[in-house]
Structure 1
Amino acid sequence: MKYLTTIIFIIATNVTVAQTIYLDSVFSEVTKTTYNYGPKKNETFQFDFYVAGAVREKMPLVVYVHGGGFSGGSRDAEKVVGFATELAQRGYAVASVSYRLIMKDIGFGCDVESSMKIAAFDSASYDVSLAIKYILENSQELGIDQGKIILAGSSAGAETVLNMAFVQENEILPSDFKYAGVIGMAGAIKTLQEIDENRAIPTQLFHGTGDKLVPYNIAPHRYCKGNDKGFIILYGSKPIAERLKSLGGSYYFTTINDGGHNWAESSMSKGFDEIIDFLYHDVINVKTIRQTDRAINDL
């Protein structure tokens, strides 16, 4: 197994006996290890693997996919590192994944063919699936619970993970594999038709009603006009939540009134308590199916 290693140390407050793993910050030291994965020997990508303390058996894993319009962004940006570290301090393993940025130097606006946009969704989904395959194949060494792998992403990353969870057919992972949950921060998908009882996994969604890039409701991507090359109808967080509600599925939907696309990243910090609540009560320690609709004002 090829990997590069970096270790970071985070100093936290003293741990108390009453704290609960996966809910409270119970660890202080977090280790980040960078692994190589890829479809070919001469084409490799990386993911940063965060874990607190020594590797433990059967840890739940959050796979995070960064945003950037499929043309930029970074798996180790400052906000991503902070988000992953805080999750690890609560006992989660985190894999922050790099993927092919096939829209680099092309853009993602209304002058870009809609078919290329769909190709970007699928390309990123393919790459992230390869990273998960690598993790599954090495789950014992990494200490991962194969039944508790949660997808999470922001903006283009949210489009990627929602595509993986609800649209794309699985051609890479084991046929019986199923994601334990998905977190989409300002994301959307191209169709709701594939969301059925089998794919209605626990889902958390954050989206601002004033998002001008990725629609909150049902609308063209970036609100392109009908005659634009990049015209494609997307289904944002609101219709995804409504679909899950109709199926009796578990979801936690936060609407940010007048919120813009900046909530794709802001949700990692301003919505962190809600993310922990979702992970703990809807994925890790499920006692009942919850359907949560929450609205806040843009801050």
Structure 2
Amino acid sequence: MKKITLVVFCLIGWWYSMAQTDTYCSQDKRFTNTPVFAEDEVESVMSVSYGHAVDYKGEDQNLIFNIYFPKIQIDSFTARPLVVLVHGGGYSGGSLNGLNNYCLEFAKRGYVAATIEYRLGWNRAPDPCDGDASSMQMAFYRSLQDVHAAIRYLVENAAVYGIDTNWIFAGGTSAGAFTTTNLAFAQQAELDSSIPLLHQTLGRIDSSGNALTNTFHLKGLFHNWGSVFDLGIIDSSDAIPLIGFVGDHDPISPIDSGYWQGCTNFPLMFGTRAIHNRLNDLDVCSELNVKIGGGHGVWKDTPEQNVFRIGRACCFFKSIFCNTCASVENQDSIPADCASIAVNETPLDDVSIDIFPNPFTGLLFTNQEDDQGIFYSMMNNLGQVVWTGRGIENMDFSRLASGIYYLQVNMNNRAVVKRLIKM
């Protein structure tokens, strides 16, 4: 009896989990590269105070964010995934307002998106290499504290903005990418080991800025030309999917490893491709987009280039919803097109074809007596073809990741798309 009860509860839990994921892994265009809300259907709230803290000059600073989301009165979703964005500027410049349009574009695609202000400032010098490296590390640590405080505030006030706290993504540009990547992977003990004394001087990363104690777990990263100090902080216990954009000639945040602006008195950094390879070694999906010949800050000079990166990020996040996330390496700008596979099943006029079982774990079968003349193409939720062939009978798909797949069946000069769930 106990075994039966346990099985029932496991099945209930599995179906609840699949239903929750399937809410965002829908066949419509929401959460893809294609906007589903007009600009006037997006609400924004500016300069929301999430806390305060002492800056590098010893002065108290009010900390704020701007937030964008589909208007609650017209959105059928009462809770939406959250994207937290952090601007760049070398920890001495930049503004949260620089990412307002990013937030708008994410909100037009169905997300809630916030751009975060954090404490800036460190002892720079006219010659970058004459700057105080330890002062820069303190600025980085303050940014970690502030972004952590902002997310705690957003989790605490999730109902106000219609946020699903189970689905939080983060990302940023340059220093902002550095901060959010370390936020995802670095534990307090690891930070204490790599940059000693900051804990004692500035406090913990999870208790500054406000008194809130909410917890959160990031589900993925939107990483734009950033890096980490130590690849060792990325391990199997905290590795999460990442989509990255970088130029292969970046002098500030080198694609593989190197020093900030070539200054060897600053800590060695590991860039976007090194992070991508580390995640692949841990069997965690990661998408790397490299601009050949590109320097620091690629695909950002025009609104269209920003939308290109946001579109790819949305499709990558949707593949996480659908458990079809796959590791990919691209060169130059390949636009996302995951909205094109958000299609309904379509019947063939002259024959009915069934693919079963659905959900499946490994083998698939068809009701056709001989399917060797039928050509099949299976895609994941990014539109990436994971298998093609003639005849699906007895094909073993057990090595596919769990999630949603689309099987295109081509026969009699017609095609039908079947939506399948891999357990």
Higher deviation after alignment, 31-40 or 196-205? 31-40
C-alpha contact (below 8 Å) 1:47/1:96 kept by paired residues: yes
For 2:307 and 2:160, locate their aligned partners in 1 and report how far apart those are by CA, in whole Å: 30
For 2:261 and 2:103, locate their aligned partners in 1 and report how far apart those are by CA, in whole Å: 29
2:268 aligns with 233
Shift of 1:139: 1.0
**Which structure 2 residues correspond to residues 90-109 of structure 1 after superposition, within 5 A?**
90-103=109-122, 109=128
**Which structure 2 residues correspond to residues 272-287 of structure 1 after superposition, within 5 A?**
272-282=310-320, 285-287=321-323
For 1:182 and 1:297, locate their aligned partners in 2 and report how far apart those are by CA, in whole Å: 19
**Counterpart amino acid of residue 87 in structure 1:** F
Change (3 A) 1:260 1:40: closer
C-alpha contact (below 8 Å) 1:19/1:26 kept by paired residues: no
Q: Could you list the per-position Cα deviations for residues 59-94 of structure 1 after superposition, in whole angstroms to 9, with x for gaps in the alignment?
A: 1010000111111111112xx222211110111000
Shift of 1:49: 0.7
Gaps of 5+ in 2: 1-26, 55-59, 189-204, 335-423
Change (3 A) 1:189 1:204: same
Give the alignment partner of residue 85 of structure 1, picking from 79, 93, 104: 104
User: Is 1:146 the counterpart of 2:165 in the alignment?
Assistant: yes
Size of the alignment, in residue pairs?
273
Runs of 4+ residues deviating >6 angstroms: none
Shift of 1:297: 7.1
Shift of 1:40: 5.3
Shift of 1:151: 0.6
Q: Could you list the per-position Cα deviations for residues 28-69 of structure 1 after superposition, in whole angstroms to 9, with x for gaps in the alignment?
A: 121110211114596311100101221642210100001111
1:43 aligns with 61
Change (3 A) 1:149 1:246: same
For 1:19 and 1:189, locate their aligned partners in 2 and report how far apart those are by CA, in whole Å: 36
Higher deviation after alignment, 109-118 or 83-92? 109-118
Change (3 A) 1:256 1:168: farther
For 2:323 and 2:221, locate their aligned partners in 1 and report how far apart those are by CA, in whole Å: 18
**Which structure 2 residues correspond to residues 63-78 of structure 1 after superposition, within 5 A?**
63-77=84-98
Greater Rg by CA = 2
2:414 aligns with none
For 2:152 and 2:333, locate their aligned partners in 1 and report how far apart those are by CA, in whole Å: 39
2:42 aligns with 30
Q: TM-score, normalised by structure 2?
A: 0.60
Partner SS state of residue 110, structure 1: helix
**Counterpart amino acid of residue 213 in structure 1:** I
**Which structure 2 residues correspond to residues 237-248 of structure 1 after superposition, within 5 A?**
237-248=272-283
Q: Could you list the per-position Cα deviations for residues 201-236 of structure 1 after superposition, in whole angstroms to 9, with x for gaps in the alignment?
A: 111111101111111111112111x4xxx4220000
C-alpha contact (below 8 Å) 2:88/2:176 kept by paired residues: yes
C-alpha contact (below 8 Å) 2:252/2:259 kept by paired residues: no
Give the root-mean-square deviation of aligned CA atoms.
2.4
C-alpha contact (below 8 Å) 1:200/1:250 kept by paired residues: no
Give the alignment partner of residue 131 of structure 2, picking from 106, 112, 125: 112
Partner SS state of residue 128, structure 2: coil
2:244 aligns with 205
Partner SS state of residue 294, structure 1: strand
For 1:118 and 1:217, locate their aligned partners in 2 and report how far apart those are by CA, in whole Å: 20
**Which structure 2 residues correspond to residues 288-299 of structure 1 after superposition, within 5 A?**
288-296=324-332
For 2:86 and 2:248, locate their aligned partners in 1 and report how far apart those are by CA, in whole Å: 22
Partner SS state of residue 263, structure 1: coil
For 1:137 and 1:175, locate their aligned partners in 2 and report how far apart those are by CA, in whole Å: 7
**Counterpart amino acid of residue 274 in structure 1:** R
Which fold has the larger relative contact order, with Cα–Cα distance below 8 Å and residues 6 or more apart in sequence? 1
For 2:160 and 2:31, locate their aligned partners in 1 and report how far apart those are by CA, in whole Å: 21
**Counterpart amino acid of residue 31 in structure 2:** Y
Q: TM-score, normalised by structure 1?
A: 0.84
**Which structure 2 residues correspond to residues 187-226 of structure 1 after superposition, within 5 A?**
187-224=226-263, 226=264
Change (3 A) 1:248 1:66: same
Give the alignment partner of residue 309 of structure 2, picking from 260, 266, 271: 271
